[in-house]
Amino acid sequence: MGKQLFRYSEDNKAKFLESDNITFNDGSVVTPEEIWDYLTVEGPVKYPGTYEINLSQGNRDSRDETLPTSLKTHYLSLTFSARMEKAKKNGKTIAFIQGGQAVDPYTAADTIALRPFLVGQWYHGREHGNDIYKSVLRRKQSKETAFHDMSFEACQTGGYEHVQVGDLPIDVVAPYTVLRCSDVSYGVEAHRHGPNKDVKLINVDFPMRHQADKPWAIEYFARNLKKLVKTLDEARGKKTTEDDLWRAIRLHNEGRRLGTELADLWWSTDIPPTNSDDRNSLVALANLDMHGDVQASLSVLKEAKKIIAERVKNGVKGHAVTDNPKRLFILGSCVGINESRSEDAGAIVVGKDDQWSHCTSLVEEEGDPYYNLAKATLEYPYEQSIEKRAQWTIEQIRKSRADGVIFIHNWGCNTQAAVSRPIVDFIKRETGIPTYIHERDLHGLRDEQEQNRVNAFIEML
């Protein structure tokens, strides 16, 4: 029996065609008409899995087709792999970084910075025609291979595996190495001792416990950022100037400001203006690295802010959002819940701390750009001590008016596993909000067990 696929309705086409273009880093533009054609003709053939109506993977039989930016993030996601191939062919430098870091210096050095998730998306997007089940199996296979080659005790090492075996033409492995992920140390070590010596490695090191109040710590990290830029320059054969870095900082600050303004707008009303999935995919644009093209992310984010403002003004409720849903705040790295099923159970995701704290940390735009960037990075609230992180999280929870907090950590994400309990205990003690901790298997077929717990938590709320 064939899989049932979602189709965008022609009824919404005329309205969508009135929306904005997407502008890319290389100055090229894609029109709403081209996006529509891709999403309705090419997309379903290449990536049927993302159109599959399959509750266990979180797809709905309908989406918010009246939210143009929802279609555009879908488009950027589906075209990601092909765009990376094209960028590489055109001589663009590509760096493998880790999650939870801003990418200003990479943008300054005209380099595409890809987190582990995006590296996986590039690799898996090369193969067409897969349904959801086959896609999940492919991702699981990558993880299992990485377990074999690196370690079973780490979570998201699939990206390093793709670099090691030469699946993808990555130019440099260049993560900030003391940020949140324990798997990054496994990956870096595996790469250091691995077979693929063609891909350069640089650790952008900074002091333990961040110590943003100590000038020597900021200066030490700023020196490391300079080394990073120098390494990227060697890879691309061109020098990055301080003006380039200032431009990148201003550009990313614009993304960060738009992202936080969008989140504030979304939180300002009792009627959620979008569903969880749309909210998260729009707010996630704030770091501008999500789709491998900072300008594309920025143009969709600008349009999204206008639309959300309009929706808030007119009291529009997001597609498939129930009346008075229980508001959930999700904590943890590289995690999320099955949003559509949780909405069906009467909840909505109103915020996540993952990838969020560096969006709320603006970089000062006067002085030494390296120093400012280092200072902002060392101040990321998510990376601070448990108490400081928890206090910042409480601020976000209060702003979002969340009813409950779920902390999820992946198997092998040792940092998050260690901090989950004290953080939720702190939040519970300070706010009285119910909390729940859940450990999961990355890319596992564990939907029912996890959803059972999430639904029980929603019922409890």
**Residues at the interface with another protein (CB under 8 A):** 411, 421, 434, 436-439, 441, 448-449, 452-453, 455-457, 459-460
Kindly tell me which of 101 and 416 has the beta carbon lying closer to another protein. Answer: 416
What's the closest the beta carbon of residue 116 comes to another protein, in angstroms? 22
Kindly tell me which of 207 and 434 has the beta carbon lying closer to another protein. Answer: 434
Closest CA relative to residue 415, chosen from 174, 158, 149, 177: 177
Kindly tell me which of 360 and 455 has the beta carbon lying closer to another protein. Answer: 455
Strand, coil or helix: 106: helix
Kindly tell me which of 62 and 452 has the beta carbon lying closer to another protein. Answer: 452
Dig out the tokens for 293 from the structure.
């093209």
What's the closest the beta carbon of residue 99 comes to another protein, in angstroms? 22
Strand, coil or helix: 112: strand
CA distance linking residue 48 with residue 51, whole number of Å: 5
Kindly tell me which of 62 and 449 has the beta carbon lying closer to another protein. Answer: 449
Kindly tell me which of 74 and 143 has the beta carbon lying closer to another protein. Answer: 143
Dig out the tokens for 402 from the structure.
């969340």
What's the closest the beta carbon of residue 136 comes to another protein, in angstroms? 18
CA 389 to each of CA 177, 381, 435: distance values in angstroms, whole numbers, following the listed order = 19, 5, 16
What's the closest the beta carbon of residue 52 comes to another protein, in angstroms? 17
3-state secondary structure 352-401: ECCCCCCCCCCCCCCCCHHHHHHHHHHCCHHHCCHHHHHHHHHHHHHHHC
What's the closest the beta carbon of residue 412 comes to another protein, in angstroms? 11
Give the relative orientation of helices 242-267 and 369-378 as an angle to the nearest 10 degrees. 40
The partner residues of 23 in beta bridges, in order of sequence, read 29
Four-point Cα dihedral 204, 208, 209, 210, nearest 10: -30
What's the closest the beta carbon of residue 291 comes to another protein, in angstroms? 33
H-helix or E-strand spanning residue 418:
helix 414-431
Closest CA relative to residue 266, chosen from 338, 321, 219, 201: 321
What's the closest the beta carbon of residue 448 comes to another protein, in angstroms? 6
H-helix or E-strand spanning residue 290:
none
Kindly tell me which of 133 and 411 has the beta carbon lying closer to another protein. Answer: 411
Kindly tell me which of 207 and 422 has the beta carbon lying closer to another protein. Answer: 422
Give the relative orientation of helices 68-78 and 294-314 as an angle to the nearest 10 degrees. 160
CA 90 to each of CA 125, 137, 316, 381, 450: distance values in angstroms, whole numbers, following the listed order = 19, 32, 43, 37, 43
Kindly tell me which of 294 and 437 has the beta carbon lying closer to another protein. Answer: 437
CA distance linking residue 116 with residue 160, whole number of Å: 8
CA 164 to chain centre: 23
What's the closest the beta carbon of residue 61 comes to another protein, in angstroms? 16
CA distance linking residue 234 with residue 39, whole number of Å: 38
Kindly tell me which of 230 and 428 has the beta carbon lying closer to another protein. Answer: 428
How many contiguous H segments (helices) and E segments (strands) does the chain have? 19, 10
What's the closest the beta carbon of residue 10 comes to another protein, in angstroms? 33
Kindly tell me which of 137 and 456 has the beta carbon lying closer to another protein. Answer: 456
Tokens 């880790």 identify what position? 98
Counting every residue written for the chain, the total comes to 461
What's the closest the beta carbon of residue 451 comes to another protein, in angstroms? 8
CA angle 193, 169, 293 (to 5 degrees): 120
What's the closest the beta carbon of residue 13 comes to another protein, in angstroms? 35
Dig out the tokens for 435 from the structure.
């909390």
Burial of residue 314 (number of CB atoms within 10 Å: 0-12, 13-18, 19+): exposed
What's the closest the beta carbon of residue 452 comes to another protein, in angstroms? 6
Kindly tell me which of 38 and 457 has the beta carbon lying closer to another protein. Answer: 457
